[in-house]
Structure 1
Amino acid sequence: MHTAVRADHRRRKHCGSWSGASTVWEILQKAGIDPTPQHTNQSWPAFLKAQASAIVATDLFHIDTVFPRRWFVLFFIDHGTRHVHIAGITRHPTGPWITQQARNYLVDLSDRAESISFLTRDHGTYFTDSFDALFQAIGAHVIPTLPQVPRMNAIAERWIGSCRREATDRVLITRERHLRLVVSEYAEHYNRHRPHRSLGQRAPDRLTDPEPPIARNHTHISRRDRLDGLIHEYSQVA
């Protein structure tokens, strides 16, 4: 099976030219040789899926109030459970401030912090060496995202989009206290009630619950409103 590959290789080397990637692929196909598993499965999405339970991502996003004032929200999100932790809100995201919020986050995690093997973040100057050192001290590898490659932090970016579409873009934020209320309420809704298709239609904090049953015609449904009716939470009444 490999004779054709070796013969073609000798012929091309003798001619003083080397095969391009497409030519090599054609030769392997004719010889019946498949690409190795390492070449086919080591894409970035495959890596994220395989390591999800050990990956935490962090990011900042801004919200402009009606006055106007611009505020920045720092959060962490667990890839495996999709649980979101709002770390802090500030007008000036300096390196020392973000490092302190990260320290508070690790304290809140307690022993669970040791389960973090990878932390993904962007190249913002506010993510300093001191910030990275906090996670490296617990054995985590800090992975900065590459420029113009948003998929490297896609889960964090997706949460930002959800928070904006479902909450902050639909409310006139007046001041910091109001912003904290809106973001905290949405994060609690996201963690405890909002269904996730990748989690079997369960919320991040309810992964041990069975998958929700299919509602029947005579099933009683209760509704809870959040943010003055902006968000509705529905549940079946036993």
Structure 2
Amino acid sequence: MASFRNVYTSLMLVIAKSTDKELARQVSYLKAENQILRSRLPKRLSLTQREKNRLVRFAKNLGSALNELATIVHPSTIRRWIREDSGKKGKQQPKKGRPRTAEDIEKLILKLAKDTGWGYTRILGELKKLGIESVTRNTVKNILKRNGYETGPERGPGTWDEFLKRHAATMWQCDFFSKKIVSKTGLRDVFVLVFLHVETRRVFITPATYKPDQEWMVEQAEEFIRHTESEKLPCKILMHDNDGKYSQPFLDTFKNKKIETRRTAIRSPNTVAFVERFVQTIKQECLDHFIVFGEKHMSLLCSEFTEHYHQERPHQGLENGLIEKSQSKARSNPAPSADTIWLSEIRCNERLGGLLKSYSRRAA
């Protein structure tokens, strides 16, 4: 501390003996040195009240020079501290008026807004119905504003999640995927078209083809429609991306059955995320493990995986349940819960040479 006082005293003596030009050069040097030191420190510094008071004391009479000298905090921040210190801002008087709304009532108002999308007038009516008479129209309005909710009712189409929940039972998504396979003429791309039902996650996979031309596309559209009718899985909306293979005759096939086709926006794969995720799953869990020889081999692999996917594979989106509950022995005759289980009771079912595995209990 004594050494610091000596340095400070020496600095003051130098400044006192200097001319204006020398002072300007010394200030320039100190600014450069300060910038170097400041660059070694974090971008944001937390100051104590004592440190703030020191800055205010020295900054009060600097005027516009503060703009160039201040580096620890923004000049406007220091000026605000000066105003507060000078009492220009004044002490805030305690607010008078209605007491703050009870926390439980505020939580209820926010819950109603989140769950229903109602405006403040409709929420106020619901509160009155529940016997809450102490809340005014403006109180509800201010609570909604303060928490980022619209004060009026939601009248637009809603969010994408809301749209999916509303139409999941009748919505399908479709997507192409391809794989290079070994053919008589060398490596070729083979194509498969997948349809996925959003609510149940059930899929319909077309046979593989080298040439997904217009005629083939229309044929698969007709086959898919027959499949939905036989499985009693209604289709009113079909989502698809911007692939050029979705030709007008293909789309007209659905239009003739009063099925609405919706093309996704460019570069927005999330709008068909469910079928995109299935494509990733079948590739990672099945197709990437095989060298495929021809269309029939590809179709066989897809067919085997589809059965496994429907009957044996738990799905997180269905709370780890099976898609075909009614066809699954494990679901029609659920095993009793137990804290322990004997390995001898477990049976492993295999497909595709053991690549796809599922487990069940042996019948008693």
TM-score (norm 1): 0.79
**Could you tell me how far 1:195 is from its partner in structure 2?**
0.5
**Could you tell me how far 1:29 is from its partner in structure 2?**
9.8
Q: Measure, in 2, the Cα distance between the counterparts of 1:218 and 1:131.
A: 52
Quick check: 1:122 aligned with 2:247? no
Hey, what does 1:54 align to over in structure 2? Answer: 170
- Deviation string for 1:95-115 (max 9, x for gaps)? 221111110121233366782
| 1:201 and 1:212 in contact (8 A); partners too | no
Bigger fraction of residues in strand: 1
Aligned length: 211
- Deviation string for 1:148-200 (max 9, x for gaps)? 00001000100000000000001111222221111111111001111112213
Hey, what does 1:79 align to over in structure 2? Answer: 198
Question: What runs of 5+ residues in structure 1 fail to find an aligned partner?
Answer: 1-27
What are the within-5 Å matches in structure 2 for residues 20-99 of structure 1? 31-33=142-144, 34-35=149-150, 36=152, 38=154, 42-66=158-182, 67-99=186-218
Hey, what does 1:191 align to over in structure 2? Answer: 310
Q: Measure, in 2, the Cα distance between the counterparts of 1:157 and 1:101.
A: 19
Question: Which region of structure 1 is more displaced relative to structure 2, 148-157 or 137-146?
Answer: 137-146
- Evaluate the alpha carbon distance shift between residue 149 and residue 29 of structure 1 in structure 2; reply closer, same or farther with a 3 A threshold: farther
- Deviation string for 1:32-88 (max 9, x for gaps)? 343255379921122112211110111110011144111001121111111111122
SS in 2 for 1:69: strand
Question: Which region of structure 1 is more displaced relative to structure 2, 78-87 or 62-71?
Answer: 62-71
| RMSD of aligned residue pairs (Cα, Å) | 2.6
- Evaluate the alpha carbon distance shift between residue 41 and residue 119 of structure 1 in structure 2; reply closer, same or farther with a 3 A threshold: closer
| 1:119 and 1:141 in contact (8 A); partners too | yes
Hey, what does 1:135 align to over in structure 2? Answer: 254
Quick check: 1:222 aligned with 2:347? yes
SS in 2 for 1:58: strand
Question: What runs of 5+ residues in structure 2 fail to find an aligned partner?
Answer: 1-138
The alignment-based identity, stated in percent, is 27
SS in 2 for 1:45: helix
Hey, what does 1:173 align to over in structure 2? Answer: 292
Greater RCO, CA 8 A, separation 6+ = 1
Q: 2:268 aligns with which of 145, 149, 159?
A: 149
- Evaluate the alpha carbon distance shift between residue 40 and residue 102 of structure 1 in structure 2; reply closer, same or farther with a 3 A threshold: closer
| 2:170 and 2:233 in contact (8 A); partners too | no
Hey, what does 2:301 align to over in structure 1? Answer: 182
Could you tell me which amino acid in structure 2 is paired with residue 218 of structure 1?
I
Larger Rg, first or second structure (1 or 2)? 2
| 1:106 and 1:113 in contact (8 A); partners too | no
SS in 1 for 2:207: strand
| 1:59 and 1:75 in contact (8 A); partners too | yes
- Deviation string for 1:127-154 (max 9, x for gaps)? 1222222222222211111110000100
- Evaluate the alpha carbon distance shift between residue 213 and residue 196 of structure 1 in structure 2; reply closer, same or farther with a 3 A threshold: farther
Q: Measure, in 2, the Cα distance between the counterparts of 1:214 and 1:189.
A: 24
Q: Measure, in 2, the Cα distance between the counterparts of 1:68 and 1:109.
A: 34
Q: Measure, in 1, the Cα distance between the counterparts of 2:295 and 2:335.
A: 36
- Deviation string for 1:17-39 (max 9, x for gaps)? xxxxxxxxxxx998334325537
| 1:87 and 1:102 in contact (8 A); partners too | no
Question: Which region of structure 1 is more displaced relative to structure 2, 142-151 or 213-222?
Answer: 213-222
Hey, what does 2:87 align to over in structure 1? Answer: none
Could you tell me which amino acid in structure 1 is paired with residue 169 of structure 2?
S
Q: Measure, in 2, the Cα distance between the counterparts of 1:158 and 1:179.
A: 19
